[in-house]
Amino acid sequence: MRVVLQRVSRGKVSIAGQPVAAIGRGLMILLGISPSDSEEQAQYLVEKIANLRIFEDEQGKMNRSLLDVGGEAIVVSQFTLYADTRKGRRPSFTDAALPEIARPLVDRFSRLLSEQGVPTQTGEFGANMLVEINNDGPVTIWMER
């Protein structure tokens, strides 16, 4: 399971010009699933993300978590996080899970994050989405489990 976290001042996901998710301060979470991923990995990453201290305190230090600041999250499934670019000029995505494996784990990941107390929205699995990210900082963190 691979995750790219982007701390945002605001984020939005639209499909065919229609907004499907929008948040203020929080995290845009780009989530890639591999065939060997499990709920255990999702649980670990969700707990880590909800409590990761990447928001600034009064002194300007990254000392507060998403939960501490009352932030929101948008989870966007992104199989391209498993792109293999070692050969040729066109990436291979054979390391990404097939939709029947990935979709349930993406949904479970989102529910687990919500259960942690983070208001969570999602993109639409498999859709061509326009993802607007107002990266705050910029703070971008890559995680894998």
Nearest CA to 55 among 6, 13, 12, 22? 6
Q: Work out the burial of residue 122: count CB atoms within 10 Å of its CB; fewer than 13 is exposed, 13-18 middle, 19 or more buried.
A: buried
What angle in degrees, to the nearest 10, is found between the helix axes of 39-51 and 99-115? 40
Catalytic hit among 6, 18, 55, 80: 80
Chain centre distance of CA 105: 12
Residue 18 is a catalytic residue: no
Catalytic hit among 78, 120, 121, 122: 78
Residue 79 is a catalytic residue: yes
Return the number of other C-beta atoms located less than 10 Å from residue 75's C-beta: 27
The pair phi, psi for residue 45, each rounded to 5°, is: -65, -40
Is 139 strand, coil or helix?
strand
DSSP H or E stretch at residue 56: strand 55-56
Catalytic hit among 18, 55, 59, 79: 79
Q: Which residues are catalytic?
A: 78-80
